Amino acid sequence: MNTRPVFLLLKYAGRAMVRAGEGSFVAISSTAAVFSARYLASYSAGKAAVDQLVRVAANELGRLNIRVNSVQPGMTRTAGTAAAFANPAMMKQFLDGQAIPRHGEADDQAHAVRYFAGPESSWVTGQLLTVDGGHTLRAFIDYGSLIDFADQGDPANFA
């Protein structure tokens, strides 16, 4: 769900870029790709796969004047994160774990994408730009302390 759409978009957009003689592809990954984020195993693995796909594609397509990079957002306010932002305790853990104590906004990510897509990065490829307020300098939050997971805790639940 996280990797296949990026692969397919890169495959078909890449063909158009080859025909055009140049291009810049920017994938969206996540800081979950670099954290051991408990309870997010499939998401984290999928985003790590996106990052590796970006690096391999950059290596393969660079000779064709096509750049491939990725933005790794931290917790950013979007429609998809509205439930998380509605949880004050969760947002406090995120802010406490960041060097810059403010929430991420969509424009923070958009500026990073714009950099990779624009001429300012004409000699940049295969890079993963983390835009997270410094969260990856510290540790991922403990979802287990914030959300009741029915299958966690009592070993009898694992029988």
Q: Which of 12, 39, 43, 115 is catalytic?
A: 43
Instruction: Please give the tally of structural domains in the chain.
Output: 1
- 78 occurs within a structural domain: yes
- Residue 156 domain-assigned? no
Asked if pLDDT for residue 149 goes beyond 80, the answer is no
CATH number of the domain to which 63 belongs:
3.40.50.720
Catalytic: 43?
Answer: yes
Taking each helix axis from N to C end, the angle separating 41-61 and 4-20, rounded to the nearest 10 degrees, works out to 20
Report residue 9 as tokens: 């978009």
**pLDDT tens by residue, 64-115:** 999 999 999 999 999 999 999 999 999 999 999 999 999 999 999 999 999 9
Query: Which one, of 11, 10, 68, 2, lies nearest residue 33 by Cα?
Result: 2
Full domain range(s) for residue 69? 4-143
**64 in a structural domain:** yes
Q: Which positions ≥6 away from 43 have C-beta within 8 Å?
A: 2, 30, 32, 37
Any domain includes 31? yes
**Residue 159: per-residue pLDDT:** 57
Greater model confidence, 156 or 136: 136
Task: Give a yes or no: residue 151 inside a domain.
Answer: no
97 assigned to some structural domain = yes
Residue 152 in 3-state DSSP?
Answer: coil
Q: Would 159 be classed as within a structural domain? A: no
Token pair, residue 134, equals 């410094």
Work out the pLDDT band at 42, boundaries 50, 70, 90: very high
Q: What is the 3-state secondary structure (H, E, C) of 74-119?
A: CCEECHHHHHHHCCHHHHHHHHHCCCCCCCEEHHHHHHHHHHHHCH
CA proximity to 27, closest of 42, 59, 45, 49: 49
* Number of helices (H), then strands (E), in the chain: 5, 5
In a domain, 103, yes or no: yes
Both structure tokens of 127: 């890079």
- The structure's pTM equals 0.89
115 is written with which tokens? 């950099």
